[in-house]
Structure 1
Amino acid sequence: MSTSVPSIPTKKRSLTLWSVGLTFIFEAVTCLLRFGMQMESTRNTASTIGHITCGLRIHHSYIGVLMIVFACWLWQKFPGFSWGLLAAGLGLFFSDMIHHFLVLWPIVGSPQFDLVYPTSS
């Protein structure tokens, strides 16, 4: 019985499929929260998370980028863990980009990709 190591193209294809699948899952949850439950980050988290982050908006793409960087840093020592971290990081990043620029912008007229929470007047 021989065990073969997947070829590089197979690994890339698998990473792409997982990243795309996670992107759709993350975006579905984001759309459910935004449109199904009428939640908006500027309205629902400004008074809690906004204070913790000193007014900076933390988009899930930021967390995705950190996960991607962390996965690359750990790749040599923990390739299996890093692969999953990379797939999830890519999914978070692309989900946020899709949400702001392909979903929100056409539907509400603005991408609402604010770097800080709006100040209340």
Structure 2
Amino acid sequence: MTVFTIPCTGDVVTGDQIEFTEAVFGGSFRKPRYLGERIVQAEVVRDSYGAAKQQHTFTLRVLASSGVEPLTPGATTTRKGRNVYRNGTRRAAWAVEADRRAALDEKHGRGDAARADRALRKEAF
């Protein structure tokens, strides 16, 4: 059993195994109904920054899920970073934490570049 004890809100990287809680809604888009919460344990398969607004998006492979309308283990899903981080995120330790540090540095470099590109685009207008 994987133990998710290390806080990583705001700093999830590809390769992390994470656990987070998310709100579940039902009903229509115009009139959603809050149904409850779901706990998701997943492996981060991929992450990206949107070109226009640098919205961080994660592709996740579900390891386990519980609560309202749990997700199917093995399923792949995407989540915006703001939603993954909303209620706090914890991760499992890596076998070699230095490898995670390298992945974190690479992610931060991409984020810095995306913000710089956006600033240049905004200056042009």
Structure 2 length normalisation: TM-score? Answer: 0.26
Which structure has greater helix proportion?
Answer: 1
Structure 1 length normalisation: TM-score? Answer: 0.27
Which structure has greater strand proportion?
Answer: 2
- Higher radius of gyration, 1 or 2: 1
Q: Which gives a bigger RCO, structure 1 or 2 (Cα 8 Å, sep 6+)?
A: 1
